[in-house]
Amino acid sequence: MSAIDIVTVTLNPAVDQTLQVPGLQLGQVNNALSLRFDAGGKGVNVASVLADLGHACAATGLLGEDNAYIFENQFAARGIADHFIRMPGATRINVKLNDPQTGNTTDINMTAEEPAAAALQLLRAEIAALSAGPARVFVLAGSLPPGVPADYYATLTRDLKVAGKTVVVDTSGAPFAAALAGAPDLVKPNRHELETWLGRALPDRASVIEGARALRAAGPANVIVSMGEEGAFLLTDQGCWHARPPKVNVVSTVGAGDSMVAGWISATLQALAPDQALRLATASAAARVSSPEGALHRAGLAQLAAGVQVEVIEI
């Protein structure tokens, strides 16, 4: 493998158990068409998409050794360098009930066990070692397991910025709020997460832009606010843009935000202009929801990107 370009960090990964349940009715007996198990977690998802796009990736974090083979198989299949710290026990399992008729997914997420202090120390050492290498982008993604301080990402961001790395943070709640002080290069909340951070509703386009401005003023250099089929806004020091995705057949919305992050990273490594970075990020999300197994990322992303409508809000 060529030199690593991107490192993703996932402290709270999960095995995604996905069932396709047409016409899902909660509280009723339902018939599932299929069942699959995938290595999940936001950083794992980002690494998988970037690998499909041809980038050299490493993935690290905390992983239960009992079912680590699910992750190991996926990393091997996609050529992702495995730098996860193994812990006793099993990685948690999250159940996803996807209704292909509506494209909606019901998530049932398990709570992880608190990691041992020794495992966290080993992870910090692993990240420090990776930051001494050629990787240019570090992605800190997903929730934090119980017992890990909310400012964990903020501390990592500061250390990685000192090392000259580009840092992307994609999380929510208290870890998201704390991470802003580290001045990451990109954060990507969805509309609900931005509303939660602000403590108020964002009912229209103008209020979303205003909220994104407030978020960017809190520290991050670039802000993407994702809004599903309504597209996404990007704010940078050069201006503001809105992208509307092309019409696609939505199979599942799982991982759409992670794919958007991966698309932005890919564009950044190619030194694309902000509007083109947003175009690629939006196309990457569309590719994910219409082809969850990655076929459109490996072939067809350019065609999807051509169908993304990008509008300049201000320059």
39 within 8 A of 64, measured Cβ to Cβ: no
CA-based nearest residue to 142, from 8, 6, 15: 8
How far is Cα 256 from Cα 226, in angstroms, rounded to an integer? 9
CA-based nearest residue to 225, from 313, 100, 103, 105: 313
- CA angle 50–107–193, rounded 5-degree value: 70
How far is Cα 139 from Cα 141, in angstroms, rounded to an integer? 6
Catalytic residue, candidates 5, 38, 258, 275: 258
In a 13 Å sphere around the CA of 211, the CA atoms on its Cβ side amount to: 25
Q: Is 52 in the active site?
A: no
Tokens of 135: 């990787």
Which DSSP letter does residue 11 get? S
18 within 8 A of 38, measured Cβ to Cβ: yes
Element (H, E) at 302: helix 301-306
Number of C-beta neighbours around residue 43 at 10 A: 28
How far is Cα 223 from Cα 212, in angstroms, rounded to an integer? 7
Number of C-beta neighbours around residue 239 at 10 A: 13
Q: Which residues of 117-146 are buried (b: 16+ CB within 10 A; e: fewer)?
A: eebbebbeebbeebbeeebbbbbbbbbbbe
170 within 8 A of 258, measured Cβ to Cβ: yes
75 within 8 A of 4, measured Cβ to Cβ: no
**Residues carrying an active site annotation:** 258
